[in-house]
Structure 1
């Protein structure tokens, strides 16, 4: 993801409702089909700069700082959604391929194994499966 696009993408995620930084990162990751997730180190400074410029307001809610668009921010975000010429992770036209869907399912399964009380042997087996899948994908590319 090009650095210059991150601020506008972050703003275009806020019309979906107020959110804290990690929630915004989740929205952008989901909108990109799991191919991109901004880091906290880029999101939180941007949110603060949006607050400073009057595009976003921050408030405490349930022990977290939640951000919402101001009227000026809403107008700016709408212009960014409409004016985006090239598709990006938050564009509704992003191609969501069957391969991406399966990658997300694999990622979810791996997270579940990791979070479970799997034995060391089960974890090693899971690692081998993921490693094998990665190696097989590279072999597919080499056969072209």
Structure 2
């Protein structure tokens, strides 16, 4: 109850969706419960794509599309990011709890499963933060409806060629140190060039 009162004002809620607010709110709470072990996992390492405030906003936008539940949200976000980010239950369920306590979503029980729908206040918040949401979706590679954007055919071909070349090179007797270092340097250079394109 104290949590709900603390976030009763719209200004405070907006602040909690910022990276700074996330660190003071859910971010600190999350670290307390999951500790070093969770932070060092492969799944958590990939989670750096979004901060906690952005996860809340993205989750709220998906609930606005249709009432949904925790596991379905995990799979939807994974698909929307093209597999680059899979939120853990330890991220999604505290996020749903926060959104419910903030008054942005409401739960309903369907066949023993808790679904969440958006409230008018949640819809108003999404409208006010549309620009931030579009930036998050752009980074995740999804469109305004949370669907993965199709990559161009030439780009898909190039990505497949790289994957195939690496697989074949590794299969054919492995790599010596010199060849391995050369490939690493080429991949690092390509990654830097792509990020600046």
In which range does the TM-score fall when normalised by the shorter chain?
Answer: 0.5 to 0.7
Is 1:60 the counterpart of 2:60 in the alignment? no
Which ranges in structure 2 are unaligned for 5 or more consecutive residues? 1-48, 161-166, 172-179, 187-197
2:26: which partner in 1? none
Cα 1:65/1:38, change in 2 over 3 Å = same
2:50: which partner in 1? 2
1:72: which partner in 2? 121
Q: Distance in 2 between matches of 1:22 and 1:90?
A: 21
Is 1:92 the counterpart of 2:134 in the alignment? no
TM-score of the pair, normalised by structure 2: 0.47
Per-residue deviation, residues 56-78 of structure 1 (Å, max 9, x unmatched) = 00111111110110011112223
Among 72, 78, 82, the alignment partner of 1:23 is 72
Root mean square deviation of aligned Cα:
3.4
SS class of match (1:88): helix
1:142: which partner in 2? 184
- Aligned pairs (5 A) from 1:121-136: 132=167, 135=170
Q: Distance in 2 between matches of 1:69 and 1:8?
A: 12
Which ranges in structure 1 are unaligned for 5 or more consecutive residues? 104-131
Q: Could you tell me how far 1:19 is from its partner in structure 2?
A: 0.3
Shift >6 Å, 4+ stretches: none
The structure with the larger Rg is 2
Higher share of residues assigned helix: 2
